[in-house]
Amino acid sequence: MKIWSATKLWRQLRWRIISSHLIIVIAGVTILLLATETIQILTGSAGIQARVQALAEAQTSQLVEAAATKLLTTFRQTLFISLSIAALGAIIAGLFTAILLTRLILQPLEQITRSSRRIANGHYDERIPIPNSDELAMMALNFNQMAEALEQTEQRRIALIGNVSHELRTPLTGIEGYLEAMMDGVLPSDTETYAQMYQEVRRLRRLTDDLQVLSRVEAGQIPLTIDVFDVLPVLERVTAQLKPQAMAQCLELETEISHQDLNVCADSDRTAQVLVNLIGNAIRYTPEDGCITVSVTVKQQMAQISVHDTGIGIPPDSLPYIFERFYRVDSSRSRSSGGSGIGLTISRHLAWAMGGELTAASEGPGKGSTFLFTLPLAR
Ligand code: ADP
């Protein structure tokens, strides 16, 4: 038990520093005592002892006085020499112990300095070993966590550049193709060709707009106007806006609302933006004669909006990734319909920023999908 508590104390930096000072003092004093004792022994026969002997053997008072003076002088000299040598020994021993202990304590700090310099130079895989002192171990752990976060940010940055250039390339290649075909006289310079080119330009514009929103939403810089409002009229407005699109694809768009009103605390425009994305996706990924149902319930102090469709569904291995930037289950299908693959990423960040959540569920391909969007209820 005692050993355990001593080890525990030694693991704390403050006790290490206190003990190291104590060790230095003890080492110094020990050397001082040992040196004084040794010098006394070495000079004993020729020094003080001989003078004491002479004093004891003195016959007259003059001889006693002379022997006493010599004894005093010899005593002073011996004390001065032994103390000087012992002090020198103690200084050297103390210095040596101090250097050793300081190195022991400073080693992890030097390691952190070296590693942070390496990270600053772009070596994001740098990690430091965990020292066995509690405070330093905590610092090393935090340092390693920071290094890992930086590494992930760097990886995301590289992936983002790759994805963005890939996404930009598709519409640009299209426009280039139309222009080349027109220059070679393969395609006529008529309204139809311009309309097709215009579609590609619009896709580019949508992508750049989405990217701008994404970067701001991910950085937590999207301005939100958080207010108490009734979510039901917002839902009705969005469904009314998207109904023609659903009807054009022979889809039924239903709402199931059992409340008179449902006040939430969020940003109404951003709420509408998320709903447009979810219902728009449901329309996009549901084949003809399918059905999309939007319902609202209350669960655990949250308003829960569910967008369910009878569409193509999502395979279980794709479900964990659909909220990631640029992830598409079937890239050719999404791309041809103009999807950038970042709508859900933006929606989830918006839901989080408003204190809500956005999740997806599907029983698999062909079995439809359900998206749950929650918002905090107004108190
Ligand atoms: P996109 O613009 O490609 O639709 P999103 O971020 O909105 O991008 O969606 C990401 C991917 O999630 C889509 O490409 C699609 O594969 C899948 N997805 C989203 N909503 C649905 C849905 N209702 N049914 C099936 N798959 C969906």
Decide: 285 in ligand 1 pocket, CB within 6 A.
Answer: yes
Identify the top-confidence range among 50-59, 123-132, 236-245, 258-267. 236-245
Decide: 360 in ligand 1 pocket, CB within 6 A.
Answer: no
Contact 345, 316 (CB under 8 A): no
Could you tell me where the DSSP H helices lie in 223-288?
Answer: 231-248, 268-284
What is the b/e burial string over 92-118, where b = at least 16 CB atoms within 10 angstroms of the residue's CB?
Answer: ebbeebbeebeeeeeebeebbeebeee
Using the mean position of ligand 1's atoms as its centre, give its distance from the Cα of residue 211 in Å: 16
Q: Average the pLDDT over 65-89 and give the result.
A: 80
Distance, in Å, from the CA atom of 103 to the CA atom of 95, rounded to the nearest integer, reads 12
Distance, CA of 265 to chain centre: 29
Tokens of 159: 């992936």
Q: Average the pLDDT over 333-351 and give the result.
A: 80
Rg, Å, the chain Cα set: 41
**Helix or strand or coil: residue 289?**
coil
The per-residue pLDDT for 44 is 60
Q: Whose CA is nearest to atom 12 of ligand 1?
A: 322
255 phi and psi angles, rounded to 5 deg: -125, 135
Decide: 312 in ligand 1 pocket, CB within 6 A.
Answer: yes
Distance, in Å, from the CA atom of 235 to the CA atom of 305, rounded to the nearest integer, reads 9
Identify the top-confidence range among 21-25, 45-49, 153-157, 298-302. 298-302
% of residues, the chain, pLDDT over 90: 42
Best probe residue, ligand 1, of 203, 217, 328, 332 (max atoms within 8 Å of C-beta): 328
List Cβ<8 Å contacts ≥24 apart for 125-129: 125/151
Q: Any idea which residue has 């050993």 for tokens?
A: 3
pLDDT in tens, 223-256: 899 999 999 999 999 999 999 999 999 999 999 9
The per-residue pLDDT for 337 is 60
Distance, in Å, from the CA atom of 124 to the CA atom of 155, rounded to the nearest integer, reads 10
Could you tell me where the DSSP H helices lie in 45-60?
Answer: 48-57
Decide: 341 in ligand 1 pocket, CB within 6 A.
Answer: yes
Tokens of 269: 């425009």
Decide: 207 in ligand 1 pocket, CB within 6 A.
Answer: no
pLDDT in tens, 279-289: 999 999 999 99
**Range with the poorest average pLDDT among 34-38, 121-125, 136-140, 244-248:** 34-38
Distance, in Å, from the CA atom of 188 to the CA atom of 194, rounded to the nearest integer, reads 10
200: Cβ contacts below 8 Å, ≥ 6 apart: 171, 172, 174, 175, 178
The per-residue pLDDT for 344 is 94
pLDDT at residue 71 is higher than 60: yes
The per-residue pLDDT for 338 is 57
Q: What residues form DSSP beta bridges with 369? A: 309, 362
Q: Any idea which residue has 């994305």 for tokens?
A: 277
Identify the top-confidence range among 42-56, 90-104, 233-247. 233-247
pLDDT in tens, 133-161: 778 888 889 999 999 999 988 888 888 88
The pTM for the full model equals: 0.66
Conformation bin of residue 342: beta by default, left when phi > 0, alpha when psi is -120 to 50: alpha
Decide: 74 in ligand 1 pocket, CB within 6 A.
Answer: no
% of residues, the chain, pLDDT over 70: 93
The per-residue pLDDT for 354 is 95
